Every structure is written in C-alpha cells, then in structure tokens.
Structure 1
Amino acid sequence: MTDRFSFTLDATDGKARTGRIDTPRGTIRTPAFMPVGTAATVKAMLPESVRATGADILLGNTYHLMLRPGAERIARLGGLHRFMNWDRPILTDSGGFQVMSLAGLRKLTEEGVTFASHIDGSKHMLSPETSMEIQRLLGSDIVMCFDECPALPADKQTVAASMRMSMRWAQRSRDAFGDRPGHALFGIMQGGVTRELREESAEALKAIGFDGYAIGGLAVGEGQEAMFGVLDYAPGCLPADKPRYLMGVGKPDDIVGAVQRGVDMMDCVLPSRSGRTGQAWTRRGQLNIKNARHADDPRPLDADCSCPACTGYSRAYLHHVFRAQEMISGMLLTWHNLHYFQELMAGLRAAIAAGMLDDFVADFHAQRAGGDIPPL
C-alpha cells in the first residue's frame, strides 16, 4: 500500500494506455470503468458483489449525498467508505452536473449556484469552496473540481463564457482543496465541441496543476461522432503522466473508442440502470429480456459469461422475474452488466499490454455485428 496518490503507465498501444493509479485505499487498474453509486449504493448490488465483478473504484454523487443523508452526517458516521461498506477508492463528482440537470429553480453567478432541492424544494448553495468541503467530509479519494457543464447544443459564445468561469472555479477549487496527502483533486476540461476552447481550457488547467484531468461536457447529447471528434485531440492536450477521465461514458462501443483515443477512466450509470429496466449487455450487443422470444429459452444470457445470472439462470427465468417485477431481476441483470463491463475493461488492458489492441477492437465489433443468438 501507498500513503500517496500516484499514476504509473505500464504500456501503450497507439494512443491507448494501460497502467495503474495507486491510492492509500488500493490500486485502480487502468483503463478503469467506475460503477456509479449515486446515493452511497450501486443500485441492486452489495458492495462485495460490485468488487467481485472486478471494480477497483466507485463513484459517489456529491449533490445527492449533500441533500440526503447530508455530508455532515456521513462524516459523523465515519465517512463515506465506512458508511457504505466499501473500503476501496471512491471518486466523488462535484455536484455541478446534477445541479444543472436535476435541481429546481437555480441561479448561477460567479460565486456559485443557488438551487432548490429536487427532493423537498429546500434552498442550497454550491460553490467551489462548498463543493470541496462537502467532498472532504465525505472522505473521497478522488475529488472533482466544481464546474459548470452547459447543455449542448449551445452557441460558441455561451460555451466559451461557461468554460472560462469553470476555469476560474477550478483555481478556487484548487485553493480550497489545500494540501491533503493521499487524496487527489482532478481538474475538468470544458469547451464543448470547439477545439480552440478545449485547448484553452487544458492550458488553464495545466497552469493550475492537478493530480488528474477529466474531459467534461461530453456524452450530453452531442452524439458519438461529435464526441469521438473531440476525443481525437482532447486527451493529447492533457499531461501524459496524469490520469485522464472521460466523465459519464458510456456504452461499450463508446468505452472502446475512448480507450483507443487515450482515455484512462470512465463512469456511467448505464450497466445498473439498464439492469433495472430489463436490458442486458453482452459481447453480442444489447438484448431486452422482456421480449417474448426469451419466455421459453433455457439458455443463459451469454454462454461464455461467468456471472451468477449466466451460470445459474436461464433467459426464461430472467424473463419471468422481470415480468413479475421481482427484485431479483434487477439484481441479476445489474450483476451481469457490471461483470460484462469489467470483463471488457480487463480485455482492453490485456490487449494494450500485449500490443494487440487493433485485433481486440476488430473482434469486439465483429461479435457485436453478429447480433444476439438466434431464437429457438
């Protein structure tokens, strides 16, 4: 174990990288996918089950936790790790994105954002300083700067003004974070889909200096082609010796494309949210367990998958418990999806280390193009 935060690159293949992030709470193998534990839980999963899928780190949501149960209460109870029974690294977002997307009436100023809770309408204020304090109380290992993420599409002037305010907030976040050995602070690049704004943002962040760098403001409705267009250059604008985190991504083909372009970390609610709505992700693509074709099918979701859903249960059973609205449905499908996502990450890491990423990616796309197994 280490008493500090560090990043080591072990191998590269083209722009893709594999390595490790060492923290006092354990090592994060990169490229890494971080399951989202919004309210101090990955929905439908026990923490030890999430770990069993191969996850090295979880993401928690500052906005949700500050509103309920409250950061001060979590701190009194020993911090987020003890509270949710997860002893490995946790990354917390800054709350900015949820304020923009979930909160009620809100007012944005240079100071920060005042908003009404989506739970009970109570009034709150988030600023770079309060976001740093809340994340300190939570005790997260990786802390995100407070930023604004404008919804796309937006005109260039709006995006530029928002990005520059986020860069001022990044400096304030850095100042408020202070010196916290063993904990890391990540800056967040903004700038929409405009290259010169992204480059300006990267330069501002590098001048401040962070332990890692995130690419924000993507996966917000711009489409995969536009996102990949930004990722073709954005990771290269950031320091090569620090982790690069693409926020809010994504679908398996988004993940593979991002890794090919030099991204080290990603997070998304997709595997758990899909699991609760009857969607399963497999190496053959996505399938919907509620479809009638599965009602009499004794085969597993994926014969090559070693998760509990695939080794113990048939498509027919999974179809039945989803239709019957039984809790085990979301539990098994979420476990399967998280297992598949982590298996994908392990495959990417191994392929990069072996210099075989192109072959891995070609095989990934070929299997998906074949589609699900034919119905019986």
Structure 2
Amino acid sequence: MKFTVSLVAKSSARLGSLSEFTRIPEAVLETPLLLLHTRGAAVPHLSYDLMQMVSTENHILQMPLVTLVDHTKNVKAFGKGIAEFAGLKEYLNYVSVQDSGTTTPEGYHEKNSISLWTRGGRKLIDPQTYITCIEALKPDMFQAIVDGDTTSNSSVKRVRRSVDDTVKFAGICADLKEKSEVLKDTPMLACITGGYNIKERLRCITELKGLGVAGYVLEGFHTNGESATNLSWEDLEPVLTETLGSLPDNLPRAFHGPVTPIILLKLVSKGIDIFDATFPWLVAERAGALIFPNTLPKGKAPITETLPSVKSPALIAQNERDGSLGNENNKDELVDRVFEINLKDKLYFNDTRPLVEDCSCYCCRKYSRSYVHHLSATSELQGPILLMMHNLHHYINFFRSIHLAIREDQLQALHSTLEQFVSSRRSGKLDD
C-alpha cells in the first residue's frame, strides 16, 4: 500500500490518496477517507444491491474482528479470504479489532490478551490467535491488536499498562506478520494508546518505531459506541496536537468511532486521514435521519428544523443535579440528536416532505417523512433500510464536501455552517 499526501492546508488538514493495494492494484482512494462500517462482513441493513444504489465508488470496508471471530474457521476452510467469502471481492477491506460503533465493556483485558465481546460471549484473544484469525480472513489491511481500554477518567496505572501491552502486542504481530506467507505483504496499522496522558502517548510512539508499519490508529480516547459521540474537544485537542506532531507525515492516521460531524471536521483539520461510517449507522439504529448541512455554504441557507424532542443542555444539567438521569424514562436525554431528526416522533405523522429537501438518495426520491415515520413507529424492517440508505448517502456526500473544502481552503466555512446549524437547533429558533 502506498500513501501519498498531495496537499496540506494551513489548518494541517491533508488531501492524499491510498493506492497500490496487492489484491486490487488499480484502486486509488482519496483521503480523508470514509471506511464503510460492516458487521459480519455486511453493511448493516443493506444487501449488496441496495449498497450499489447508495454508492458505486471504490470503498474500503471496515470489518471488525469481533463480529467475525466466530466464523474464521469457515473462512479459512473456504480458502479465498473474507472479501470473496462475503461476495464483496470488488471492495477492499480493513480488519479492525473492536466494533467502533458498539460500546466495548471496560476492565476485561488480561496480561497477555484482550477481550472480544461476541454474540456467543466473551472471548480472550492473544496476539498469536489474532494473527491466525487475520491469516484466515486475508484482508487488504489490518489493525494490530491493541489495549485501548482507556478514557479521560483512567488512572495513570491503567494508561501505562495500555501502552505497555499495546507496544508488546504490536511487536509480536509485526514479527508474526513477517514470518507469515499470507500476511508478509499486507499493510498493518499500529495503534497509539495512552489515554489523555501526553507523556504516555509520546512513549508509545517512540517504542513503536522500527516496526515498519503502514500507518497508525489513534486509540484509547473512548470506549466506542456512544462514548465517541460525547468526546470533549477541550480535553482531546491538546493531546491530539502533541501526538500528531510526533507521528511521521508520510503515513496515514486513522481515528475510529462515531464522532459527531463537528468533531470529525476538527479531527480533519488536525491531519487525521481515515474515519469510519459508524455515526450514520448509530443514527439509523435509533430511527434517526441525518439532516445536518453536508455541503459548502451557498449563500444564506435557512435552518428548517428545530429540536422539539430533545431536552435542552440546561435541562440535562438540571436532571444531573437532581439525580434523575439514572431513571429508565430518561435514557433518551443522554443522546444528543442535534444532527438528525427522530422519525419515531409523531411530529412527522403527516409530513409529506422528503427526509432532506433536494437529497438525491433513493429514500428521499421515493418516500416521505410520514411513510418512514410509519415504518419506524411500527418497527417494520424497511424502516432501518431506508434510513441507512439515506444516512450513508448523506455522509458520503459530506466527505466529498470535505475534500472540496480542503482543496479550496474552505474547511473553516464548512465548520462554521455546521456550528450555525447546531446553534439554531439548540435554541429552537428558525432563520428568516
């Protein structure tokens, strides 16, 4: 795999490309890159034909091992790798360790292994077992096994151990990869851990040097799932700045997890190159449709949606003081739905508009909010299918706009548009 940086903006945002993959040498993918999230080697809710209706472009599929580990023996017996086993051989694929869209339980790693929480329960995976699984899957790129079990609240001892284990695991993986006839030419991304401790992250980078990795994954800032959508930029930014400043410029940097569009733009502006599509999937799972501005501003675009079903930040703070957030009836108040509309809301019972005006996705061209509300309210299977088609289409277009914004030095304008949108929705006021 070859990574080329073609443009670095004033903000440090980078345009580049990934190319020269062994299995599909003609594939060239532009960065910042969106990995299409899969579960069990399939994009959630979308068959192959439906996926083709969303996008026919080249993509890399993110395949979490936690959703595949129970099937690696079958894939190995098949002998041709996970891409052909899943009928997706025209797509490149990247095997990550955890499912970044699903919360990973904390506190279950052991000295020489990590925990994968599969449908069949907890499985302990050591580096040797991990590489055996990767050999069976034969991916186009994979992540080294990692202890990323840290958050902003982790102790110094837990952070230090996460670095020690991650470095040890990466060294073993690199050695086994070099000896493997199947994987010796397969790109491996090493992981940078250390929680929110700058000193430990810099130590991790130093100790990983010399492994000959193809890129880096910044791990340990969250525990996947909703924890990624609640990241604090004030806590993240100084650690990220120091970490990225110590990484080589000629290798790609990845950040996994369903971060919000605003945080994603800030990560892009810092020089992160690879993200995943777990955010549009999480939104679809809770019957939400993405409506945030996903293109560069063209004049004064009115905000046509408010937030009737989301509690204000002030009320959430009041609930925290009252101790009422632990109540089962208040679970939804923890989910910030500012970038979406909730199609289970009765507000859309008679709404004949598409999910987003002028959206060209299949759902918006064929169906109304009212119809999708009916599907969501009655738990019809077509509901999440249509929402996933729309959300993924919306997010892919968002990345097209990011590429254009970097090229035309308009990333700040795109960020300001999103900030204005969020501010308008939170205040409940409409633009004139």
- TM-score of the pair, normalised by structure 2: 0.78
| Contact 1:35-1:55 within 8 A present in 2 as well | no
- In 2, Cα distance between the equivalents of 1:55 and 1:102? 33
User: 2: distance between equivalents of 1:96 and 1:279?
Assistant: 20
3-state secondary structure, aligned to 1:143: strand
Q: Are 2:258 and 2:282, in contact at CA under 8 Å, matched by a contact in 1?
A: no
CA RMSD of aligned residues (A): 2.6
How many percent of aligned residue pairs carry the same amino acid? 20
**In structure 2, what is the equivalent of residue 64 of structure 1?**
67
Offset of 1:106 from its aligned partner?
5.5
Conservation of the 8 A alpha-carbon contact between 1:96 and 1:148: no
Quick one: which amino acid aligns to residue 160 of structure 2? A
Q: Is the 8 A contact 2:146 2:191 kept in 1?
A: yes
Q: Is the 8 A contact 2:66 2:117 kept in 1?
A: no
How many Å separate the matches in 2 of 1:333 and 1:73? 32
For 1:248 and 1:343, the matched residues in 2 are separated by 19
Is the CA contact 2:288–2:340 (under 8 Å) kept in the aligned structure 1?
yes
Instruction: Give the corresponding residue for 1:79.
Output: 81
Please show how residues 103-182 of structure 1 align to structure 2 within 5 Å.
Answer: 108-109=110-111, 111-113=112-114, 118-121=118-121, 124-152=123-151, 153-178=153-178, 180=183
What code does the residue aligned with 2:7 have? A
1:224 lines up with 2:232 in the alignment: yes
Residue 407 of structure 2 is matched in structure 1 by: 353
Give aligned pairs, total: 364
**1:181 CA drift (Å):** 6.0
| C-alpha displacement of 1:101 | 2.8
Are 2:234 and 1:238 aligned?
no
Whether contact under 8 Å (1:322, 1:329) holds in the other structure is yes
Amino acid at match of 2:274: M
Counterpart contact for 1:94–1:146, Cα < 8 Å: yes
Q: Tell me the SS of whatever aligns to 2:188.
A: strand
- What are the residue-to-residue correspondences of 1:287-326 with 2, within 5 Å? 287-326=341-380
Which residue of structure 1 aligns with residue 14 of structure 2? 17
What is the Cα deviation at residue 304 of structure 1?
Answer: 2.7
Contact 1:50–1:338 (8 Å) recurs in 2:
no
Distance 1:261 1:10 in 2: 16
Amino acid at match of 1:148: D
Deviates more, 1:326-335 or 1:46-55: 46-55
Amino acid at match of 1:165: D
Q: Which residue matches 1:204?
A: 207
Q: Secondary structure at the match of 2:209?
A: helix
Other structure's SS at 1:303 match: coil
Give yes or no for the alignment of 1:254 onto 2:277.
Answer: no
1:335 & 1:246 partners in 2: Cα distance?
Answer: 23
Measured against aligned partners, the alpha-carbon deviations of 1:157-191 in whole angstroms (never above 9, x if no partner) come to 22012211211111111111116465210000000
Q: Which region of structure 1 is more displaced relative to structure 2, 336-345 or 217-226?
A: 217-226
Separation in 2 of the partners of 1:55 and 1:332? 22
Aligned mates of 1:290, 1:268 — CA distance in 2: 23
* C-alpha contact 2:349 2:370 (8 A) present in aligned 1: yes
CA positional deviation for 1:281: 1.3
Cα 1:118–1:361 change in 2 (3 A) is closer
* Structure 1 residue runs without a partner (length 5+): none
